[in-house]
Amino acid sequence: MPRSERSPLLLAGLLATAGIAHLAVPRPYDATIPRALPGPPRAWTYGSGVAELALAAGLVAPRTRKAAALATAAFFVGVFPANVKMAVDRRHRPAPVKAAAIARLPLQAPLVLWARNVARRADRAAAAGGAIRTVSTMKGQP
């Protein structure tokens, strides 16, 4: 399988893994929810886990891949404040814990770009598929 075909599946795997973790072990994620958000942190943790699973499912299906990839990019931007909160909350922790929290901040940008790239490739694949269908229809083939 070419790398470009694996990319959406790898992104879906990352999201599915994160979604399952949010649902199976929510407590560490609850602490990252910004206090400014309404409602209990656990609801946001579960909601983000469900969103990650839905995005993963959307990325797997070629028909929904572009929309899911764009939504994934937006999701990664939307959860950035939680990563900032985690880095701020862990600034007085031991160096490895603090470093891991800080390292997550710049990693958000490549995730957004990855999702955007998946959307772009899905758009190109859909356009190419449409062109193939148009040519075959012109030749009298279904």
According to the model, what pLDDT value does residue 5 have?
Answer: 81
**pLDDT at residue 140, rounded to an integer:** 57
Specify the 3-state DSSP secondary structure of 114. helix
**Tens digit of pLDDT for each residue in 120-130?**
999 888 777 65
pLDDT score for 125: 82
Q: What stretches of 61-124 adopt beta strand conformation (E)?
A: none
- Give Cα 72 distance to the centre of its chain: 4
Residue indicated by tokens 């572009």: 66
CB neighbours of residue 136 within 10 Å: 11
Angle between helices 65-78 and 95-138 (to 10 degrees): 160
Question: What global pTM score does this model have?
Answer: 0.82
pLDDT digits (tens, 9 = 90+) for 56-114: 999 999 999 999 999 999 999 999 998 899 899 998 999 998 999 899 899 999 999 99
* 3-state DSSP assignment of residue 91: coil
Q: For residue 58, give the H/E element and its range.
A: helix 41-60
Contact between 90 and 97 (Cβ < 8 Å): yes
